[in-house]
Amino acid sequence: RIAYVNGRYVPHRDATVHVEDRGYQFADGVYEVCEVHAGKLVDEKRHLDRLDRSLRELRIDWPLSREALRVVLREVVQRNRVRDGLVYFQVTRGVAKRDHAFPKVPVRPSLVVTARSSDPQANDAAAEKGVAVVTCPDNRWSRVDIKTVGLLANVLARQAAVEAGAREAWFVDRDGYVTEGASSNAWIVTGDKVITRPADDNAILRGVTRTTIIDMLADHGLTLEERAFTVEEAQKAREAFMTAATAIVMPIVRIDGVEVGDGKPGPVALGLRRALHSTAELA
Ligand code: PLP
């Protein structure tokens, strides 16, 4: 395997950054995960637009131009012979003497890119069965709209989910409403309405897959309702599902041990899953 680290393509096992990198010390950095499908990047433009927003919000410079980054992403995908999988890219503020405030003399941001293959058949098999989620309090900071590498709350939530035999954790706010998953957006289906939490109030990350799914709904005869929903409403919904670049659309069949619908993946989630790659931009 090959990784890209600050201007060089290196064997994955030798791909390291400095101990004083601010990403390592402060989680002072942002990232993106873009799906690779049939050798193409899925919704790359939206991922780069979101990276740009994350960098701006944290006042981190682009490590290289957008066009140059696009070349590096493709190079890493190709050098790893990824046809179906993921490309991961991370930008941190850079290497500087440890001090919470930004370095007085600006340093070069660090850029790391890795890619790996996944087994589409295994993912489809999981989707045919559906997955379980468990809920936990949303104890993250208030800027979850930024895709930062500061993911400790997400890590603990996901570990709790795995220990409970579930695939994903759903965060729940103080008022009992689901915000999103530890690394996915959360959806339910009631009647012909497809419901997901609004992204405008910064209580969730604006998922790229979420945006693409929203664009698809009308063509599938479905109506979007952007509003928060409770765990109980989700448990009583016809369907529930999650979206992420890493999972596309994954049907959810159990929430905190309670079966959703008839306990099988629903037609809305499976239909959107099948259609996503024909709607998303592949480049
Ligand atoms: N919400 C969180 C907290 C995430 O970490 C992710 C992706 O990893 C998502 C939502 C889904 O975003 P996307 O569809 O862009 O992968």
Ligand 1 proximity of 140 Cβ (cutoff 6 Å): no
CA–CA dist 241, 170 (Å, integer) = 11
CA of 205 to the centre of ligand 1 (A): 6
Query: Of all atoms in ligand 1, which is nearest to the CA of residue 208?
Result: 15
Q: Which residues of 130-153 are buried (b: 16+ CB within 10 A; e: fewer)?
A: bbbbbbbebebeeebbbbbbbbeb
Q: What is the pLDDT of residues 11-32, one digit of tens each?
A: 999 999 999 999 999 999 999 9
Q: What is the pLDDT of residues 146-195, one digit of tens each?
A: 999 999 999 999 999 999 999 999 999 999 999 999 999 999 999 889 99
Cβ proximity of 153 and 143 under 8 Å: no
CA of 105 to the centre of ligand 1 (A): 33
CA of 211 to the centre of ligand 1 (A): 11
List the catalytic residues. Answer: 147
Domains 2-118 and 123-279 agree in fold: no
Ligand 1 proximity of 243 Cβ (cutoff 6 Å): yes
What are the residue boundaries of the structural domains of the chain, listed by start? Answer: 2-118, 123-279
- Looking at residue 192, its pLDDT comes to 85
Mutate to test the pocket of ligand 1, among 51, 123, 148, 183 (most ligand atoms within 8 A of CB): 183
pLDDT exceeds 90 at position 33: yes
Give the CATH number of domain 2-118; options: 3.40.50.150, 2.140.10.10, 3.30.470.10, 3.40.50.720: 3.30.470.10
Ligand 1 proximity of 51 Cβ (cutoff 6 Å): no
CA–CA dist 80, 12 (Å, integer) = 10
pLDDT exceeds 90 at position 37: yes
Cβ proximity of 146 and 30 under 8 Å: yes
Q: Which CATH superfamily is domain 123-279 in?
A: D-amino Acid Aminotransferase, subunit A, domain 2 (3.20.10.10)
- Looking at residue 202, its pLDDT comes to 93
Write phi, then psi, for 212 (nearest 5 degrees). Answer: -65, -40
Residue 60 sits at the vertex; the CA angle it makes with 246 and 26, to the nearest 5 degrees, is 75
Whole-number average pLDDT of the chain: 97
Q: What is the pLDDT of residues 139-153, one digit of tens each?
A: 999 999 999 999 999
Cβ proximity of 33 and 81 under 8 Å: no
- State what percent of residues in the chain have pLDDT above 90: 99
CA–CA dist 41, 92 (Å, integer) = 22
Q: What is the pLDDT of residues 67-115, one digit of tens each?
A: 999 999 999 999 999 999 999 999 999 999 999 999 999 999 999 999 9
Mean pLDDT over 36-50 rounds to 98
CA of 244 to the centre of ligand 1 (A): 5
ipTM of the complex: 0.99
Query: Of all atoms in ligand 1, which is nearest to the CA of residue 180?
Result: 1
Residue nearest to atom 12 of ligand 1 (CA): 207
The model carries a pTM of 0.98
